[in-house]
Chains A and B, each alone.
Chain A
Amino acid sequence: MSSKKPVFKDSFKEYFKKLIGDELDSFINSSMIPLPDSIRVNTLKTSREKLKELLLAKSWVLEDVPFYKDAFIVKKRNQALGNSLEHFMGYYYVQEQSSMIPPLVLDPKEGDVVLDCCASPGSKTSQLSQLMNNTGVLVGNDVNVNKISVLRVNLQRLGCRNIIVTRGPGQRFKKFADTFDKILVDAPCSGFGAIRKNWAIAKMFNPRSFGSLKRVQSDLLQSSWDALKTGGTIVYSTCTLTLEENEEVIASFVKSHDDAVLENINIKGFEDSRGINMKEVIRIWPHRKNMEGFFVAKLSKK
């Protein structure tokens, strides 16, 4: 991360002041603190207990992630997370805590046919594969050629074998009518929840881009909806905190689809992290939880 502190434009402050009022200073201050290191145990290759034993033997200090038993916060380590033998062997994946939530909400089962329509770099895709215990079919799609090579390496290292990686715009999945049991739409977004990870994002604030992003997000949601089986579930997530790309996308989608039901998300520890005028969804503010900002909504098809 650059040593320069993030630059927050006046328009950024005004925008978020409207959303969180007096908490703005706290939000901005928290954005300057790097995120805690966290890892997800890859249960396709090892167990929580075995990995914990190996890392403790190397004098790492680990803390449990309260909402997910197969994850740890790394409080102290003696080498970079991506350079250890255990990382090489695919025993864990370096993943931010917020990013572990969408797959948990989607909750795929063994044998399901699942789509992750914006899959790179593969954190959530590999977590889905893990939750499916390497069974069923998991289609991981991405549009970006360069990102797909990273996705391939990650899925290989983690030993995911129930996967098909495809390349192309996620909108193409509208052709797959009634095919998938569960779909994750981790949509492209402005990324303002990830300022703690990349300070440069802060100065990119431009409300004029929200409209075009919202169109792409709504398109992805619509094509995924077409590909979803009746009775199936879609989880929509972003790592941004704007109203336009989150609650507004979901509200307009539910309004225009009689068969869409906005489900209440219940994850222990997130009861107080609700959306703006939308109590069913999760909205994580980085200054309230020590995590990346995230938005997660769950829709089911009647």
Chain B
Amino acid sequence: MAAQEKHGRFLRSETFEKVEYKKLSKSFDEEFRNKIFENYGFQIPPDWVFYNLGKDSIWLVPGKVSTFDTKDLIVEIKGLYFSHYDGDFLRLSPEGAQIVGSKATKGILDITNDEAEKMIRGFDIDKVNNLEAEFVILKCPSGIIGVGKNHKTRVLCQIGKQRRVFQI
């Protein structure tokens, strides 16, 4: 590691607020699991623990990680960002889609590698389908790239700008 970081950074970091992770309430957790099952036919294992980190983002946090005492450290993240869910609108992260998609029985749209290459660069693709899910899991021969918003004839890119590939 190069040594650009100096004590100025240390002091700056002190002023940041501590992130609040909240375990999903029993009823919301159940609702979230049911929604995943309803959309993708995937039963989330009962020992998986989900936390909320502001603005409807759901994180998969293993038990040992969730109980680790971080004392007064500034916690940026714990576990894996799994999906956005606000009680109605469910959009899996690319990693959430890979986890769910590996065992899903529905809500999966097969696309070609060329279409996947377009999608990861932020383009929408034309794809006629009759899938019910609002957000379909996109599976190409190389693997699962995430989810797309399904308009039955067109699938809209849902890959965050931070994750997109910009050069061809």
Q: Which residues of A contact B62 (CB under 8 A)?
A: 134-135, 161-162
The answer on a CB contact under 8 Å between A145 and B13 is: yes
Docked-complex contact B1 and A113, CB < 8 angstroms: no
Q: Which residues of chain A are within 8 angstroms of B72 by Cβ–Cβ distance?
A: 175
Binding-face segment, B77-85, B127-135, B150-158: B77-85
Q: Which of B10, B71, B76 has the most CB of A within 10 A?
A: B76
B143 touches A160 (CB 8 A): no
Taking a contact as CB atoms closer than 8 A, the residue among A88, A143, A187, A191 that contacts B165 in the complex is A88
Contact with A along B130-167 (1 / 0, CB 8 A): 00000000001011110000000000000000110101
A201 touches B2 (CB 8 A): yes
Nearest chain B residue, comparing its CB with the CB of A160: B80
- Does B36 sit within 8 A of A, measured CB to CB? no
Least Cβ distance of B53 to chain A in Å? 12
CA distance A134 to B64 in the complex (A): 11
Are B76 and A156 in touch, CB under 8 angstroms? no
Considering the chains assembled together, what is the distance between the CA atoms of A118 and B16 in angstroms?
19
Contact B3 A113 (CB under 8 A): no
Residue of A nearest to B1 (CB): A188
Q: Is the beta-carbon distance between B12 and A145 smaller than 8 angstroms?
A: yes
For residue A80, CB closer than 8 A to chain B, the reply is yes
> Are A163 and B79 touching (Cβ within 8 A)?
yes
Q: Does B55 contact A (CB under 8 A)?
A: no
B59 to A: closest C-beta gap in Å: 9
Chain B, interface size: which category?
35 or more
Contact A166 to B70, CB < 8 A, known contacts A137-B65, A156-B80 = yes
A130–chain B nearest beta-carbon distance, Å: 14
Q: Which of B47-78 contact A (CB under 8 A)?
A: 60-62, 64-65, 68, 70-78
In the complex, the number of residue pairs spanning A and B with C-beta atoms less than 8 Å apart equals: 143
Task: Given A85-B113, A91-B143, A168-B13, verify A139-B68 contact (CB < 8 Å).
Answer: yes
CB–CB B145/A153 < 8 A: no
Nearest chain B CB to A182 CB, angstrom units: 15
Min Cβ gap A277→B in Å is 25
A156 touches B93 (CB 8 A): yes
- 4 residue pairs, one from A and one from B, having the closest CB atoms: A161-B80, A188-B3, A165-B76, A191-B2
- Say how far B30's CB is from chain A's closest CB, in angstroms: 21
Known contacts A86-B142, A144-B9, then 13 further A-B pairs from the complex at CB < 8 Å, ordered by chain A residue: A91-B143, A111-B64, A120-B1, A135-B62, A137-B65, A139-B70, A145-B13, A155-B77, A162-B62, A162-B65, A188-B3, A194-B2, A216-B3
Q: How many residues of A contact B (CB 8 A)?
A: 59
Q: How far is the CA of A143 from the CA of B12 in the complex (A)?
A: 9
Instruction: Please name 6 pairs of A and B residues whose Cβ atoms are closer than 8 Å in the assembled complex, sorted by A.
Output: A80-B167, A86-B143, A148-B76, A161-B61, A161-B80, A168-B10
Known: A88-B120, A144-B9. A187 touches B1 (CB 8 A): yes
Residues of chain A with a CB closer than 8 A to B140's CB: 85
With A161-B62, A213-B3: A167-B13 Cβ-Cβ less than 8 Å: yes
Contact residues in A for B5 (Cβ distance below 8 Å): 143-144, 147, 188
A31 an interface residue at 8 Å Cβ cutoff? no
Q: In residues 264-282 of chain A, which contact B (Cβ within 8 Å)?
A: none
B78 to chain A, nearest CB (A): 5
Nearest A residue to B73, CB-CB: A166
* Residue contact A167 to B76, C-beta cutoff 8 Å: yes
The answer to whether B81 and A156 touch across the interface, beta carbons within 8 angstroms, is yes
Q: Which residues of A contact B142 (CB under 8 A)?
A: 54, 85-86, 89
Residues of B within 8 A of A169 (CB): 10, 13
Residues in A with CB closer than 8 Å to B165 are: 82-83, 88
Contact with A along B106-133 (1 / 0, CB 8 A): 0000000100110010000000000000
**For the complex, is A261 an interface residue (Cβ under 8 Å from B)?**
no
Which residues of A lie under 8 Å from residue B120 when comparing CB positions?
Answer: 85, 88
B29 CB-CB contact with A under 8 Å: no
